[in-house]
Structure 1
């Protein structure tokens, strides 16, 4: 979902993330320290020049720094792209194992399929709500499986209405705006 919402990747290393927090705080290490709940000296150690006894943030501080950066990264771009996805829908490109439960005599074994399917904006809305609520990958797979089954296997309600789709073993999923 993140690749859909942002035009640039969120900074990956703690050093880059601290640099971004400092830029947002207009260079004030005191403001960054207050935001992270640490002392000014701790932020000074984290941002010291290389080779000068530079400290590294602990595991819980790394998580906190990343959360703060992700929460504030490209807010206008995120809002604009999320609104566009909810209005026009998404294009989902995935390779995953799909199968279905159907009547006797059908080949219902799950098999690896490469799909590029446009899904409606309601699905995008549901995915965003789950993502913002901190849903697991499994919950996202359930939402996507239901949507892809409806669009791909049931052709948006025009056939195979009682078909139960199984979606799993996801190799990759890419999202784009429809």
Structure 2
């Protein structure tokens, strides 16, 4: 995942996701009320395999393969705080989001213009429409370049064009992202 996708995930979760595969397995077991059979069906493995992964006997524990670890992570992400995610996403799409970043941002202008692309630290409120477009692209599996383009249009409209009141027709440059952070309005 890219920085923007990670930032969107952090926006909708109130508790951080389990950081390790073992913690993810424990979380799945907790979500499924301790049933290794249901966890196994979610992961597409046998019940005995899940039991081997979670056993606490010395030397008895085996580790999931890399492919299984990715599958565990994706299942945990899909099932982690579903009502909280839905509520926070609806709030972001209705009220908008605050976007905080350090990146190369500006528009193509004549040399020595104050708005020439350069490293900027920006904190900007973006509309709910931009949030909806970002979430739709994220859900569709859009890559980082497409999400960056959505943010560039939204930032250009809010930052340079002052909500559409001036500077129409500017070509916005938004590259070299150092970090991304989102917050609810």
Q: Deviations over 1:62-114 (max 9, x none)?
A: 11111111001101110110111111000001110012123577355420001
The answer as to whether partners of 2:109 and 2:116 remain within 8 angstroms in 1 is no
How many positions carry a matched residue from both structures? Answer: 178
Alignment of 1:1-150 (within 5 A): 1-49=8-56, 51-102=58-109, 106-107=113-114, 109-150=116-157
Higher mean alpha-carbon deviation, 165-174 vs 37-46, is at 37-46
- Take 1:105 and 1:46, find their aligned partners in 2: how far apart are those partners? 61
Q: TM-score, normalised by structure 2?
A: 0.91
Q: Deviations over 1:15-68 (max 9, x none)?
A: 111011111221111111122111122111100116333111011111111111
Give how far 1:170 is off.
Answer: 0.3
- Take 1:78 and 1:3, find their aligned partners in 2: how far apart are those partners? 10
State the Cα RMSD in Å. 1.5
Q: TM-score, normalised by structure 1?
A: 0.94
Which runs of 4 or more aligned residues in structure 1 lie more than 6 Å from their structure 2 counterparts after TM superposition?
none
Give 5+ residue unaligned stretches, structure 2. Answer: 1-7
> Secondary structure of the equivalent of 1:112?
strand
Give 5+ residue unaligned stretches, structure 1. Answer: none
